[in-house]
Each structure stands twice: as C-alpha cells, then as structure tokens.
Structure 1
C-alpha cells in the first residue's frame, strides 16, 4: 500500500463520477477566484467588483472631460489636473495597493486537462451547471497533446473544443492554450514552444521554478500512462527541470506527443485523477497497492501528497482490497456548505 494515501471517491455509475467531478472543478474555481465556497459571500464579492468597475469607468470619463475642458494652453488647468492626480496617489490608495488590487481583480482559474474519456466526463458534468461556471475567467491548458492536426479525433485540444467548449452557451468563453499546430512534425520544437507559452503565462517577469495550476485533471489508461507519461519511459519520468517534454515512439495511439513533466504535475495546487471502467481495475490495484512498481500516477500520489484526489467508479476499484473509499460531499451547490 502506498505510504501516502490520496482521497478516493467511488461511485456506482459513470453519471455519479461526472456530477462529482463537475462539483470538484467548480469548487476549485470558486476557491481560486474568491477564496470561499459560500454563495452569499461570492455574490457580495462579485457585486463589489462590479460596482468598483462602474466607479472606475465613471472616474475615467470625468477625468477625460476635465482635460478636454481645460483648454490647450491653460497652464493652471494642467497644474490642477497634475495636483489632483498626485493627491489621489498620496491621499488615497498607494501605487503598490493599486497594483495589488489590480492583481486581485485579474485573478484567473488556471486548469490543465488531458484527453480521452475525461473529456466525456467533463462534457456531461460541466455543461449541465454552466450558470455556475465563469468561463471568461478560465485559462485552459493541456496536460499532454498528440501531435496530429486539430481536426483529428486523436487531438486532445480538438476533442475538448468539439465536445465541451463549442457547446458553451452565451458569449463568454475560456482562453484555450493549445500547441502550435504548425510544429506537429517536430516533437522537440513543439514541446519547447509550449514550454515557452507556459513560461510567458506563469512566470512573466518573475523567476519561477515551476508553473502552478489551480487544478490539473488527468485520466489513467489501462497500461498505466497518465498524460503522455508512459510507465517504461524511465528517462522522461526522471526529468527534474523541463516543464514540457517531447515524447517519441509512444506504445499506444499516435507515437509523437508532448507532455507536462512529473515535477509540473506534482506542483499543481490540486491534482485530480478521473478513472472509470472495468478495464482499469488491474492497473488501479497496482497504483494503489504496489507503489514500488513506480507507475507515473503512483509517483504523483507521493510527489503531490495531500493534494491528490481520485474520482472512480466502482468497476475501476473492483480489484482493490486495501483502499478506503470516501463519500463525496458536494461543496459548490448552494446550501450544502
């Protein structure tokens, strides 16, 4: 048995997994954006931000009008405007406080997903609760990608777009951060470009060792691979520095891929595995009860200790005898907290 036991939630059917995963995702969104799951508190914060935005807009219009009315050559008007601006800076909010407020206003939910059956689970769970999802504040990344054209059924981005994001109602959509399709013939160059995208979005002018996703969602294949990290690819599993890695000669599906590295996955604020189906039962038993085998998800269970959650159906846990299943408590439904 693994020395670090993750949270394991089990459900009789696929629908139960989808509903709980959706709730888990929405809860992660709310904690990231508002640091609370309380619906009344979230509404207050939203109202406050909306009012502040209206006030800022009105102030901008007023300032623009005062400038246009001062006349071109009116030194006194210019000095007065400058004095007012300086006064606002010294008597009101400091420059640092303004930056802090702006940073708080610009909080975004950074989520990474893989493909396969996980997409179907997200489709079923999330789209039925769209009124609770703030799509326009989402940055969606991909934990791995098969190096195929986006219109291929093997493309994780293509599948996610067709099966989830193209079905969003309204005009608010997430930002989807996908690979450069023009680089699919060169795994190393494609991985380097995606890593640069991650550095630009997570590091910017700061020096950060690893990106931190608010939530990283993964499946697990019958052969034990997660993202595009395969059990027998020892060198890739031991990588410590790179954020994104090229994968060649994958033993299943399209052989050329890119994937996030183990350190990046383990650094996420929340790491969540979603697994369903009887075909997964043997590998789930090995992951949970034989960590010494060194399967990628066993490594993550240890490396992200305390931040790992598994959502599985009963079929996938059929062969496990040494795991403790928990009952999932819905957190983001109004009145449940």
Structure 2
C-alpha cells in the first residue's frame, strides 16, 4: 500500500465527480485570489442537504470584502483616502492570478460539466497552462488545448470574462525539444519574470490517469520520470496515442500547492489498485502520490476504485457554493 495515503473522494455517478471537482477548483481559486479568510459561503458538510454555514469571520461575500477594503469610511460618512501602503496592497490583491495546470482526456468533460454552470468562477483572473500537450494541430481531437478551448473556454458566457491561456507554439510541432524549451520559457515568464525561482508553483494542477498508469505525458519506465532540472520535457516515443509530446516534469507537478487526480470508469480500476497498493511498481501517479504527500486528492467514481480494498474513501466536504 502507498506509504503516503492521499485523500480519495468517491462518487456513484459522473455528475457527483464533476460537482465536487468544480467546488475544489473554485476553492483553490478563492484561496489564490482572496486568501484563506475570504471563502465564499462556507458549507460544513457534503451531501444532499449541503447546509450553508457562516465561516469563522462572519460570512461576507468576497465582492463585499473587496469593496470595503478599497476605502475606509469615517464617522461623518466621507471616504478617507487610503495610504500609499494600503494602495500598494490593494493593487497587489487586484493583480493576483489563479494559476492552474490542466491535462486532457476525460478531465475536460468533467470540468465542462462542473464549471460552466457556476457563477462564482473568476474566469478573467485565471492563467491556464497545460500539464502536457500532444504535438498535433490545435484543431485535432488529440490536442489538449484544442479540446479545452472548444469544450470549456469558448462556452464561457461573454459577461463572465475570459482566462489567459498559454498553449504551446503550434509552429514547433515537428521539434519536441524546441517546443518543450519554448514552453519552459513561457512558464519562466509567467512564474519567474522578476525573480529567480527553482520551480514554478501552480495553485492547482489537475491530472487524469490512463489505464497504463501514465500521468500527463509521463509514462511508466520512461526517462522523463528521472528528469530533475527541466520544467518541461519532450517526449518523442510515447507508447500510446500521438508519439510526440511535451510534459511538465515530476518536480514541477509535485511543487504545486495542490495536485488533484480526476479518474472515472471501470477500465481504470486495475491501475488505480496498483497505484494505491503497489507503490513499488513505480507508476507515475504513485511517484507523485509520494513526492507531493499531503497535497494530493483523488476524485473518482465508484467503478474506478472497485478493486481498491486497503484505502479508505472519504466523504467530500463542500467548501463553496455558486451564487
């Protein structure tokens, strides 16, 4: 059994997975943009009732908090000018971004189902990167960016804003090494423009898991699993699907504030059992479970964990609720 037991949230149906993942994403968004004390409409327990409970600071909406922090009001009712320190703090808060890394596959459908109906997604504050990408044209059904764009981002209502999205350079599809190097430069610009950092720190990375155990484009027994320095690595011999790809490396994924897997279907049950119960097999997801211990969560349907007997499934506690 894995020595670093992750949180495993299991649901009987796809809709339950999608709803919980959406809540998880919005909670990570709110933490990144507003801090831990400004969660919106805390909910104490998951379940059909989903009873609302005030948070420890008295349940104010995030927008009200932001408005009150913009200016202080004196007893006469006149606005008191904020100090330069307060103005700098306000500007810093306004410039905060939610930086998320996405993989592809069925994850895109889960996010579409869970996020598009919500009104509390601050789309215009999102910076979207890709945990991996197949080196195919964007209009190919194999393109993670193309799939996410058509199924999620192009479906966002126009009045909800639009994220900043960072795809690969489509002109470099024939050169995996150059494409990986260029995407690493994109990451450096986004995460280390003014500072020198060893690794980028995402607020959240969302991953799937294939029946062979590969995660992003990190394949079992592949040399990319041993990459310790590069942020982004080329893959030229993927054993399934398009052979040429790029992928975030294990250190980058494991440095994220949160790493969450979204897996569904009975076809995944054997590999999930191996990941959880036989970490010695060294599957990519097992490696990430160990290296990012304490920051890992799995969102699965019951079919995907039907073969897992030694890991306790938990009840998901909803943290936020859409307006």
TM-score normalised over the length of structure 1: 0.84
Gapped regions of structure 2 (runs ≥ 5): 42-59, 73-80
Q: Which of the numbers 59, 67, 72 marks the counterpart of 1:47? A: 67
Number of the residue aligned with 2:231: 243
Alignment of 1:1-337 (within 5 A): 1-35=1-35, 36-39=38-41, 40-48=60-68, 92-93=83-84, 98-129=87-118, 131-171=119-159, 172-233=161-222, 235-333=223-321
Contact 1:228–1:247 under 8 Å retained in 2: yes
Equivalent residues of 1:278, 1:318 under 8 A apart: yes
User: Is this contact kept in 1: 2:263–2:301, CA < 8 A?
Assistant: yes
Aligned partners of 1:3, 1:265: CA distance in 2, in Å? 19
For residues 120-174 of structure 1, give each alpha carbon's deviation from its aligned partner in whole angstroms, at most 9, with x where no partner exists.
0000010111x11110000000000000000000000000000000100024100
Deviation at 1:224, TM superposition (A): 0.3
Larger Rg: 1
* Deviation (angstroms), 1:175: 0.5
CA deviation map 1:198-254 (0-9, x unaligned): 001100120100000000000000000000000120x21011110000001101110
Deviation at 1:50, TM superposition (A): 6.3
Normalising by structure 2, report the TM-score. Answer: 0.87
Kept in 2: contact 1:147–1:187 (CA 8 A): yes
Cα distance in 2 between the residues matched to 1:227 and 1:51: 45
Tell me the secondary structure at the aligned position of residue 310 of structure 1: strand
**How many angstroms apart in 2 are the aligned matches of 1:190 and 1:49?**
43
Q: Which runs of 5+ in 1 are unaligned?
A: 53-87
CA contact (8 A) 2:40 2:321 kept: no
Contact 1:225–1:231 (8 Å) recurs in 2: yes
Any idea what the Cα deviations from partners look like across 1:268-323, whole Å, max 9, x if unmatched? 00000000000000000000000011111101111111000000000000111001
1:139 aligned counterpart, secondary structure:
strand
CA-CA distance at 1:49 after TM superposition:
5.8
Distance apart, 1:92 and its partner CA: 4.1
Within 2, Cα distance between the matches of 1:226 and 1:274?
A: 11
Tell me the distance in 2 between the aligned counterparts of 1:160 and 1:170: 17
Q: Paired residues, what number? A: 294
What SS is found at the alignment partner of 2:19?
A: helix
- Alignment correspondent of 2:47: none
Deviation at 1:47, TM superposition (A): 1.9
Q: Does the aligned pair in 2 maintain the 1:49–1:105 contact within 8 Å? A: no
Indicate how the Cα distance of structure 1 residues 50 and 176 shifts in structure 2: closer, same or farther if over 3 A, else same.
Answer: farther
Q: CA deviation at 1:51?
A: 6.1
Q: Secondary structure at the match of 2:4?
A: coil
Q: Which digits, 9 at most, give the CA deviation of each residue in 1:40-95, with x for residues without a partner?
A: 1513223236669xxxxxxxxxxxxxxxxxxxxxxxxxxxxxxxxxxx9xx9425x
Task: Classify the secondary structure of the residue corresponding to 1:274.
Answer: strand
**For 1:245 and 1:319, how far apart are their aligned partners in 2?**
33
CA-based RMSD: 1.8
